[in-house]
Amino acid sequence: MAKPAKIKPELKAEVQAYLLGELAEAKRFDQNRAKDREYADQLLRGQRLGEVPKGDPQVVSTDAADAIESVLPDILEIFNGGDDPVTIKPRTVKSRDAARRMAELIRYQLAHQLPWFKVQYTWCKDALAYRNGYLQWGWEFRYRWLESEYERLQTRDLEEILWDGGEVLEQGQPWVWNGRQVGWLGCRVRERVIIKNQPLVKPIPPGAFLMSPGASDIEDAPFAAVRDYPAFHRVKQDAASLGYDLEGIRPGAISSDDETAARLAERGREDWLGSSADDPERGRVERHVCWFHWDLDEDGELEPAMATLINDKLVSLGPNPYQTTPVISISPILDTHQHEGVSLIDKVKEFQHIKTALYRAVIKMIRFATGPQNLVERDAGVDLNSLLRGQPFSVVHVDAGKLGAVKPLERPGMPAEVRWFAEWIESLKEQRLGVTRLNQGLEGKSLNDTARGMLSLMAKADKRIRLIARLFAEMGYKPLFRALIKLNQEFIDRDLVVALTAEAEEDTVFTPDELGGDFDLIVNVGLGNSDKALTVQQGQQLLQILTGLSQAPGGAAMVTPQNIYQLIKTIIDAMGWQSGLIITDPDQGGEANGRGGIQPAAGGIAIPGGAGAAGGGLPGQPGGAGVPGALPPGAAPGAVGAVQGVGVA
């Protein structure tokens, strides 16, 4: 990623004033939303709800947490149960191979380079609880400089080091081979070691994303920002690669915003931001990464810009490398034409209040029933201390003739209407959420005990869950896959060598040229998808039909091995297994069986997998085409130019 341009003095004050004004307006707009998120967090935690008189039960119903924790596993299973949630399709025939390679690369990045499941869990749960779940995407490029000494360094390797910004500290002696210089001996260089060069995908905490008031969509917002509180030593690391101007920036006493402070207080935690304010390295700063439009090149046209404010000071400014705000928002229920959606807590909060009141009333009633009160006449001659203690086998002294002065206070039992009302409230909540006890596996009895009837009831209840999954896919996963395609095409500038699976027998090489092309994205989840158990059952029935059809006269022409393969593959995927590890595509079986075999090479030497001829290339390039002849003295065949010295960061 290119570094932001150095800030011009005449532009700095103008842009900084604009950004501070936009930030203040965005924060004021977010205050009401912050109150709603605080209330949602209170319901989600279920620790306290309302003012309770001293001595009364303080139990709280956990309907909000139960609803979210019931829906979340189904949502995550839909997106991680088998096929990719989004399929990359080529827009033209020429881009068919590029689409396949891009799909393989994105699948590898999500599975191996990113904490993808944790990201999905946090992203979806934020949306279900706080109306909107935010995800920031981008490209993470981190490196450090290393001084290395090479005993032998080829010319092409040195040119690559210099192209990447390195420099030669000691030239060393020319490395001559067969009368031609192929490199240097004893060369010491300063080279850049890349630590991370991959996509960045991370969920944004509630309240950390700010945008212009009134915008119905992030893309339409003239201003957007993400706020965080990094430690100062991390900011100094970012300054090298992001071009921060940290002059005058010092960590100070930073306190959390009101929303974060309320959330910490709800959990009984102290504000952690000011805990290390005295440490100059571990002290924290307030950072806002902003996206907006500005005429940076002064040509009269506004263009996407990106800037960073640290402690309200502009430290970087330049063109937006993504050309858009790299933030994606999802909501489980849309409030049409509005950016803010509707959460499951909005649907269940009144039921949580009602059930909390019922719980407290029932517990209070049970307490009075198990600890009865007595009616005692005044001046009845009864030992009140013994009566109040009420210990088993204790004696309560009563004056003569006053034995009838103490009578138990009779209380009615729990009315049947209370139980009916509680069940009625639960059924209303299930109707509103679309999440029944049947889905949660908590219903012991059912009106329909047949397997088909149970599947039918669950399929009807799952419709709302599939609708939420479809919204998440259209609003979140599809734009994210589009962003990952764009990032890979723009920021991968060198060959990427990876092992796609643990069972792979050879590495896969992704080159920048083969990732280009125009692609279409197709969502594979949500409405229209049947239950997986039903898919397996129907697939097995269809397999029997095709088997019988293939044995009928003329039926062999209607059923091909590819038809059977696709059907069995669908059944295995619905079971949750990886079909590629169990069955082989009949169209690729011959090629797969021949891959990696022992092939004869020149000179009668057996080379596994058909590798290039031995000894044909320069030192460090096994099997490549290069200068013929024997290797120079002291150089082992196929050995890469080794680092013989020590590396000093």
* Ramachandran angles phi, psi of 500, nearest 5°: -60, -35
Q: Are residues 522 and 552 in the same domain?
A: no
Q: Are residues 452 and 581 in the same domain?
A: no
pLDDT digits 0-9 by tens, 496-528: 888 777 666 788 888 888 888 889 998 887 654
Q: Are residues 507 and 551 in the same domain?
A: no
User: Do the Cβ atoms of 302 and 222 come closer than 8 Å?
Assistant: no
Rounded CA-CA distance 125/71 in Å is 9
Q: Are residues 480 and 370 in the same domain?
A: yes
The number of folded domains in the chain is: 2
Q: How far is CA 81 from the centre of its chain?
A: 16
Q: How far is CA 579 from the centre of its chain?
A: 25
* Residues whose CB is less than 8 angstroms from the CB of residue 2 and which lie 6 or more positions away in sequence, other chains included: 318, 321
pLDDT above 70 for 622 = no
pLDDT number for residue 547: 85
pLDDT number for residue 426: 74
pLDDT digits 0-9 by tens, 563-595: 888 888 888 877 777 777 788 888 765 544 444
Q: Are residues 501 and 549 in the same domain?
A: no
Q: Which of 211, 242, 249, 212 has the alpha carbon at shortest distance from 227?
A: 211
Decide which of 506, 528, 550 is a domain's last residue.
Answer: 528
Rounded CA-CA distance 169/187 in Å is 8
Q: Return the higher-pLDDT residue of 137 and 558.
A: 137
pLDDT digits 0-9 by tens, 417-467: 667 677 767 776 676 666 665 554 445 444 445 555 545 555 565 778 888
What is the residue range of 369's domain?
Answer: 57-105+347-377+424-528
User: Do the Cβ atoms of 68 and 346 come closer than 8 Å?
Assistant: no
In 489-624, beta strands by DSSP E: 496-498, 508-510, 519-523, 598-600, 606-608
Domain presence at residue 643: no
pLDDT number for residue 564: 87
Domain presence at residue 260: no
Domain presence at residue 432: yes
Angle at alpha carbon of residue 450, lines to 543 and 547, rounded to 5°: 10
Decide which of 571, 589, 607 is a domain's last residue.
Answer: 589
Q: Are residues 557 and 455 in the same domain?
A: no
Three-class secondary structure of residue 88 per DSSP: strand
Contacts 24+ apart (CB under 8 A), 261-264: 262/38, 262/41, 263/38, 263/41
Flag the least confident range among 188-192, 402-406, 449-453, 610-614: 610-614
Domain presence at residue 111: no
Q: Are residues 97 and 85 in the same domain?
A: yes
In 45-125, beta strands by DSSP E: 86-90
pLDDT above 70 for 408 = no
Q: Which of 221, 386, 432, 229 has the alpha carbon at shortest distance from 311?
A: 229
pLDDT above 70 for 602 = no
State percent of the chain over pLDDT 90.
28
Q: Are residues 436 and 585 in the same domain?
A: no
Rounded CA-CA distance 519/535 in Å is 29
Segment holding 236, helix H or strand E: helix 232-242
Q: Are residues 361 and 486 in the same domain?
A: yes
pLDDT number for residue 303: 93
Decide which of 528, 559, 580 is a domain's last residue.
Answer: 528
Rounded CA-CA distance 155/391 in Å is 95
Burial 200-225 (b: 16+ CB within 10 A, else e): ebbbbbbbbbbbbeebeebeebebbb
Global pTM value: 0.73
Q: Return the higher-pLDDT residue of 143 and 3.
A: 143
Strand partners, 307: 290, 317
Domain presence at residue 364: yes
pLDDT digits 0-9 by tens, 208-241: 999 999 888 999 899 999 999 888 888 888 887 7
Domain presence at residue 251: no
pLDDT number for residue 610: 36
Flag the least confident range among 474-478, 490-494, 535-539: 535-539
Residue at 292: amino acid letter = F
pLDDT number for residue 596: 41
pLDDT digits 0-9 by tens, 245-272: 888 888 776 766 667 777 777 677 776 6
Average pLDDT, the chain: 78
Q: Are residues 435 and 351 in the same domain?
A: yes
Rounded alpha-carbon distances, angstroms, from residue 248 to 144, 252, 276, 310, 509? 25, 12, 19, 10, 46
Burial 329-359 (b: 16+ CB within 10 A, else e): bbbbbeeeeebbbebbbbbbbebbbbbbebe
pLDDT number for residue 444: 44
Length of the chain: 649
Q: Which of 204, 206, 208, 214 has the alpha carbon at shortest distance from 29?
A: 214
* pLDDT, mean of residues 364-371: 75
Domain presence at residue 360: yes
Domain presence at residue 232: no
Q: Return the higher-pLDDT residue of 313 and 272.
A: 313
pLDDT above 60 for 608 = no
Q: Are residues 435 and 561 in the same domain?
A: no
Q: Are residues 520 and 561 in the same domain?
A: no
Residue 469 CB coordination number (10 Å): 27
* 648: confidence class by pLDDT, cuts 50, 70, 90: very low
Q: Which of 344, 452, 354 has the alpha carbon at shortest distance from 74?
A: 344
